[in-house]
Amino acid sequence: MRIYACVKQVPANNETRLDPVTGTLIREGSPGVLNPLDAYAVEQALRLKEQYGGEVSALSMGVPGVRDMLRRVVALGVDRGILLTDRAFAGSDTLATARVLAAAVNKCGMPDLVLCGRVASDGDTAQVGPMLAECLGIPHVSDVACIEEIARGEARVRRLGDRGYHSLRVRLPALFTVLKEICVPRLPSITGVLRGEKAAIAVWGRADLGSLEGGVGLKGSNTRVLRSHRPDLRVKTRAVAGARDLMDILREENLIAEDRVRGDI
């Protein structure tokens, strides 16, 4: 079984990434880490490899420094890391990013499974996974909580929907975005770390990826950031003595009574 895990480098801390005066991003000085939820995609890929055999590749689009993050992913047991980096990719929105990832997947040949984390902690869109599946022309299932079985070119999975868990049968190849309840990520072993340090990470740019129909980078993105600002998260906090006083306040503020009575479901 051939599996691709898509991973993203994100800032280690959302808080320190913003200039408190201008509200703009501070790119320097903040270490990058593997997006926390991508660790579950990597772990699930490794477990499937252990169970069914095959190989796992980790795929990431980002700045050249992401190579080090991919080494740390290889240290976990992933067979190879591929970094997609090029100035032409800068400013890509989610769809343009999906196009780059799709081109890389197609270059390597369609795998049986593509796994992504549910969402990245910085952009917080949860869009690249489904978009990548569409670019690849394969089905996707979002928010997968459990991969129960893979047999005869088909996966049985359980996904967390809005009101409960759906069981699904999906023909492979397919793309799943996974929840953190799917597994517990392992820590790298010492031999793994050594292997990661020595691993050759493939680095591909625009020219390595063929046509990229629809465009990439800022030019190939339909969405534009008009402006960004730092919201004022401060609130006026009032000290309350206890439950009884709180109930009076909640009633006054219409937070527990009339609103529900008005019939909003």
Partner 1 sequence: MGTYEGLQGIWVLCGVRDGQIDRVSRELLGEAERLGAVEGMKTTAVVLGREIPQIRGADHALVVQDDSLSVPEELRWTHELYHLVRRYRPQVLLLGANGFGRSLAPRLAARLGTGLTADCTALDMRDGLLVQTRPAFGGNLMADILCPDARPQMATVRPRVFRAPDWEAARPCEILREPPAGPDTLSRLVEITGFTPSGQDAAIGEADILVAVGQGIGSKENIAMAEKLAELMGGALAASRPLVDGGLVPYAHQVGQTGRTVAPRLYIACGISGAIQHLAGVAAEKVVAVNIDPDAPIMERANWAILGDCGAFLREMVDLYTTSPPSVLPDRHSK
Q: What is the 3-state secondary structure (H, E, C) of 27-96?
A: CCCCCEEECCCHHHHHHHHHHHHHHHCCEEEEEEECCCCHHHHHHHHHCCCCCEEEEECCHHHCCCCHHH
Q: Of 57-65, 74-82, 197-205, 223-231, which segment contacts partner 1 by CB under 8 A?
A: 223-231
**In the set 12, 26, 194, 240, which binds partner 1 (CB under 8 A)?**
240
Phi, psi of 201, rounded to the nearest 5 degrees: -95, 125
Return the residues of window 145-164 that contact partner 1 according to CB under 8 A.
145, 156, 160-164
What's the one-letter identity of residue 157? V
Return the residues of window 102-121 that contact partner 1 according to CB under 8 A.
121
Return the residues of window 5-64 that contact partner 1 according to CB under 8 A.
11, 13-15, 17-18, 23, 25, 36-37
Nearer to partner 1, 54 or 123 (CB): 123
Q: What are the residues whose beta carbons fall under 8 Å from the beta carbon of 121, sequence distance 6 or more? A: 10, 14, 35, 36, 37
Return the residues of window 124-143 that contact partner 1 according to CB under 8 A.
124-131, 133-135, 137-143
Pair of tokens at residue 128 = 């690249």
Residues touching partner 1, count (CB under 8 A)? 92
- Report whether the peptide linkage leading into residue 173 is cis, meaning its omega lies within 30 degrees of zero: yes
Q: Does residue number 235 form part of the binding site for partner 1 (CB under 8 A)?
A: yes
CB of 235 to partner 1, least distance (A): 6
CB of 52 to partner 1, least distance (A): 20
Q: Does residue number 259 form part of the binding site for partner 1 (CB under 8 A)?
A: yes
What's the one-letter identity of residue 232? D
